[in-house]
Amino acid sequence: MTVDYPPQPSQSALPYRLDDPVLHTRSTQPETMTASVAASLASFHAYLRSSKRILALVGAGLSASSGLPTFRGTGGLWRNHDAMELATPEAFSNDPSLVWQFYSARRAAALCAMPNKAHYALAELAKCMPEFLTLTQNVDGLSTRANHPPDQLLHLHGSLFSLKCTSFYCDFQEDNNFTHPLTPALAIASEVSAPYRHIQQADLPHCPKCNTGLLRPGVVWFGEPLPWRVVQAADDFISSGKVDLILVIGTSGTVYPAAGYVDRVRMQGGKVAVFNIDIDESDSEDELSEVESTGSYANRTTWTFEGDAAEWVPIALEPIVGHVELPQDSSGERSSLR
């Protein structure tokens, strides 16, 4: 089934401005790699080549350099509302106009954004390794748009482009709905600089099946269970053999049960590679000192790559996926920010 994504609008259309400080990465540029980073990368490459089964747990930091804000820091505020507070059933029942404008603005931003090299590298790893599975906390659809094989990609928290009816008597739900705006009234949602205007419930998205139910975004809100099929599939992968390695990419690891998958792999004796712009070295301090003292990486269980995931993930996965470049778009231009 082909999903026809809308054409890519220009950067200026982005409701979230790129020069938002959250988005700029403080990164140890791979090209200025220190000897210890180069040695760490080499030991990671050796372990990667020997790994048979790999998981990836990804978060908002994976899409940061595609222009989408993360939940931490200033990016986590929308119209001065904490994004995590808006992502709750309570917020939606209290003020569906506010919550729908929040999600409509995020749909617009995600439609404007482009997958970056890390999205493509993970998609490539999935094509090279049947025993590789990505668990994404992201709802932006960028991994799918990077042609990540769908049966090796689990959306733990749903998608901005799924919709479902809130009526108790109706089971309507729809995936891959890229209509924007969903209703004429929601066109105002992207004008974040304009003063907030309340939208009457009648002008919010309604169910095309029962015609009465209010539609809601098909995402998992705080306090709601993850889709059981998704949890089942993740559990099946973890319990059907040792996972040798988990790639933890652009996530603060604060939201559960998603963050719990890292420990489950560790408990199986699997090793961990962390990709984040903000690594607190304490994670692997004692391992580092042992490496310095013994000079061998044999007992290394955690690798950390501090910097922009869009830079480091392709480099870390190169032995398997080769050199990842962004696809040329129709104008032959490199189609992305990076």
Residues labelled catalytic: 157
Q: Which of residues 195-234 bind ligand BV8 (CB under 6 A)?
A: 219-225
**Cis? peptide before 21, omega within 30° of 0:** no
Q: Residue 65 binds what, of Zn ion, ligand BV8, none (CB under 5 to 8 Å, by partner type)?
A: ligand BV8
How many whole angstroms separate alpha carbon 278 and alpha carbon 170?
Answer: 44
Q: Residue 213 binds what, of Zn ion, ligand BV8, none (CB under 5 to 8 Å, by partner type)?
A: Zn ion
**Which of 8, 89, 172, 214 lies at the binding interface for Zn ion (CB under 5 A)?**
172
Task: Based on the shown chain and the rule CB under 5 A, indicate whether residue 213 belongs to the binding site for Zn ion.
Answer: yes
- Choice between 66 and 152, CB closer to ligand BV8: 66
Residue 164, helix vs strand vs coil? strand
**Cis? peptide before 69, omega within 30° of 0:** no
Tell me the two tokens of residue 270. Answer: 């699997």
Query: What DSSP string runs through 79-104?
Result: TTEEHHHHSSHHHHHH-HHHHHHHHH
| Site stretch for ligand BV8 (CB under 6 A), options 37-45, 67-75, 205-213, 286-294 | 67-75
Q: Which of residues 281-310 bind ligand BV8 (CB under 6 A)?
A: 308-309
Q: How far is CA 191 from CA 109, 115, 138, 196, 199, in A?
A: 11, 23, 23, 9, 14
Instruction: Provide the CA 156 distance to its chain's centre, in angstroms.
Output: 10
H or E stretch at 58? strand 54-58
**Which of 151, 236, 278, 325 lies at the binding interface for ligand BV8 (CB under 6 A)?**
278
Residues in contact with Zn ion by CB under 5 A are 165, 167, 170, 172, 207, 209-210, 213
Binding site for ligand BV8 (CB under 6 A): 25, 59-61, 64-65, 70-72, 87, 137, 139, 157, 219-225, 250-252, 254-256, 258, 275-278, 308-309
